[in-house]
Structure 1
Amino acid sequence: MFTTRKCLNDQLKQFCGTENYTRHSFSRIHLTDGIVYAKDVHGLNWLVDKIAPQAINLKRHPFQCWKLSRVGKTGCFNLLCTDGNDNLLYKEIIGYSDCESDHVDIWVADNIMMLPSEY
């Protein structure tokens, strides 16, 4: 039976600002404490690894809002990036993910990947 899942960001609101910046393994993006926690505890390595090179490709947009949203009750997701003003910069359909949440927001500002609560 399908259970309703919530936005992962609601579970990560305790992250406000960051004390450390961790460099992403294969890009110039730096990760905040909240993103590192989400990767390590919630298994979002794949999402961070997918966003990081695309964020670099979109560097002419210094502020990016990335949204991962489940499509219906499936394991499929939409990954969208906007400039913060609802102008679409990137869109991808993720055919399957074991992501436990229905929705995750990640922001990239000046090559720093963060949770919205850390902005």
Structure 2
Amino acid sequence: MRILLVTLCLLVLAMAGCTYTLKPEDKALMESAISAGNEAKASAASASSAADKASQEAQSAAQSAGKAESAAARAETAASKAESAADRAERAANRAEMSADTAALAAEKAVKAFEMKQRK
């Protein structure tokens, strides 16, 4: 048991003697790596914020596009109704013209009939 304890103590002493001590260059390199990691985190946070903003703008643009599409559909419907009203107005004008022609013919016949009565 003592041999095991002595061996363990020697092993601990050997490990303590073999521990690595940081050189100033290694310490500077490690600090640089930590600084770069912190900068990367900050850049990632900034990129995430920019991505969120871009996503919100894209959603806003999509909503605007939807509204524009809806307005275009309403304008198309209004144009169709206006065209239909114009067609009805044209048909009414044609009927009025036919009525005017019929009235003119009737008036012409009435004048001829009156003239014939005057001649008798």
Q: Which structure: greater strand fraction?
A: 1
TM-score (norm 2): 0.15
Q: TM-score, normalized by length of structure 1? A: 0.15
Larger radius of gyration: 2
- Select the structure with the greater relative contact order (CA < 8 A; seq sep ≥ 6): 1
